[in-house]
Chains A and B, each alone.
Chain A
Amino acid sequence: MTSIPAQPHDGPHPTHRPTLRPHGGALGPGEDPLAHDNIHMPPGWGRVASGLLLGIGGVSCVLTALYPVLAGGSGDEAGKAAKHALASYHVGFLYALGLALGSLGLVMIMHLVKAGWSVTMRRQVENVAGLLPVALALGLPSVIFAGTLFKWTKATDSLAQHKAPFLNEPFFYARLAVYALLWLGLSARLGGLSRRQDLIRDPELTRHAVASSAVGILVFALSVAFASFDLIMALDYHWYSTMFGVYFFAGNMIASLSLWALVLGAVRAAGRLRGLVTAEHSHDLGKLMLGFTVFWAYISFSQYFLIWYANIPESQVWFMVRKSNGWENVFLFMAFGHFLAPFLVLLFRDVKRSSVVLGGVAAWLMLMHALDLFWQVRPIVYALENTGTPTPGKMGLAWVDVTGLLGPVAVFAAAVVWRIGRGVLIPSGDPRLAEAIEHKNYV
Chain B
Amino acid sequence: MAAQNVRYVTESGEEVYGLMAQFSGPADFYHAAEMVRDAGFRKWDAYSPFPVHGIDEAMGLPRPRLPLLVAVVGLGGAALGFLFQYFVTAIAYPMVVQGKPYAAWEPFIPVTFEIGVLFTAFTCILGMMAFNGLPRLHHPLLTRERFLRVSDDAFIIAIEAADPRFDAPAVQALLTQAGALAVEVVTDPRPAPAPHAPH
A residues adjacent to B (C-beta < 8 A): 8-13, 16, 18-21, 301, 304-305, 308-309, 311, 347, 349, 440, 442
B183 within 8 A of A: no
* Beyond A9-B27, A13-B28, A19-B57, 19 additional pairs, beta carbon < 8 A: A9-B26, A9-B30, A9-B54, A11-B30, A12-B28, A12-B179, A13-B27, A13-B31, A18-B30, A18-B57, A20-B57, A304-B106, A305-B109, A309-B98, A311-B98, A347-B71, A440-B54, A442-B54, A442-B56
Instruction: Determine the distance from Cα of A21 to Cα of B57 in the docked complex, in whole angstroms.
Output: 8
User: Which residues 113-158 in B have Cβ within 8 Å of A in the complex?
Assistant: none
- The answer to whether A13 and B58 touch (CB under 8 A), given A309-B106, A311-B98, A440-B53, is no
- The answer to whether A305 and B53 touch (CB under 8 A), given A9-B27, A9-B30, A18-B58, is no
Q: Does more than half of chain B's interface fall in helix, strand or loop, or is it mixed?
A: helix
Contact of B27 among A12, A19, A305, A349 (CB under 8 A): A12
A442: B residues at CB distance < 8 A: 51, 53-54, 56
A8: B residues at CB distance < 8 A: 53
Instruction: Determine the distance from Cα of A19 to Cα of B63 in the docked complex, in whole angstroms.
Output: 16
- The answer to whether A16 and B34 touch (CB under 8 A), given A9-B27, A309-B98, A309-B106, is yes
B35 within 8 A of A: yes
Pairwise interchain contact A11-B28, C-beta atoms closer than 8 A: yes
5 pairs of residues in contact across A and B, judged by CB atoms under 8 Å:
A13-B27, A21-B57, A301-B109, A347-B71, A442-B56
B179: A residues at CB distance < 8 A: 12-13
Instruction: Determine the distance from Cα of A434 to Cα of B110 in the docked complex, in whole angstroms.
Output: 44
Q: Separation in Å of the A439 CB from the closest CB of chain B?
A: 11
Pairwise interchain contact A308-B98, C-beta atoms closer than 8 A: no
- Over the window 33-69 of chain B, the binary record of Cβ atoms lying under 8 Å from chain A Cβ atoms (1 yes, 0 no) is 0110000000000000001011011100001000100
Instruction: Determine the distance from Cα of A21 to Cα of B58 in the docked complex, in whole angstroms.
Output: 10
Q: What is the chain A residue whose CB lies nearest that of B25?
A: A11
Q: Separation in Å of the A350 CB from the closest CB of chain B?
A: 10
Pairwise interchain contact A11-B31, C-beta atoms closer than 8 A: yes
Q: Separation in Å of the B132 CB from the closest CB of chain A?
A: 16
Pairwise interchain contact A11-B109, C-beta atoms closer than 8 A: no
Pairwise interchain contact A305-B106, C-beta atoms closer than 8 A: yes
Instruction: Determine the distance from Cα of A347 to Cα of B30 in the docked complex, in whole angstroms.
Output: 30
Pairwise interchain contact A16-B57, C-beta atoms closer than 8 A: no
Q: Separation in Å of the A334 CB from the closest CB of chain B?
A: 14
Pairwise interchain contact B34-A308, C-beta atoms closer than 8 A: no
Q: Separation in Å of the A9 CB from the closest CB of chain B?
A: 5
Q: Separation in Å of the B85 CB from the closest CB of chain A?
A: 15
B67: A residues at CB distance < 8 A: 349
A9: B residues at CB distance < 8 A: 26-27, 30-31, 54
Q: Separation in Å of the B177 CB from the closest CB of chain A?
A: 10
Q: Separation in Å of the B109 CB from the closest CB of chain A?
A: 6
Instruction: Determine the distance from Cα of A18 to Cα of B31 in the docked complex, in whole angstroms.
Output: 7
Q: What is the chain A residue whose CB lies nearest that of B30?
A: A9
Q: What is the chain A residue whose CB lies nearest that of B63?
A: A349
Q: Output the residue of A9, A20, A304, A308 with the most chain B CB within 10 A.
A: A9
Question: 10 closest Cβ contacts across the A-B interface?
Answer: A11-B27, A16-B31, A13-B31, A442-B53, A11-B31, A9-B27, A308-B106, A16-B34, A9-B30, A305-B106
B35: A residues at CB distance < 8 A: 16
Q: Separation in Å of the B79 CB from the closest CB of chain A?
A: 12
Instruction: Determine the distance from Cα of A12 to Cα of B178 in the docked complex, in whole angstroms.
Output: 10
Instruction: Determine the distance from Cα of A53 to Cα of B133 in the docked complex, in whole angstroms.
Output: 58
Instruction: Determine the distance from Cα of A413 to Cα of B51 in the docked complex, in whole angstroms.
Output: 44
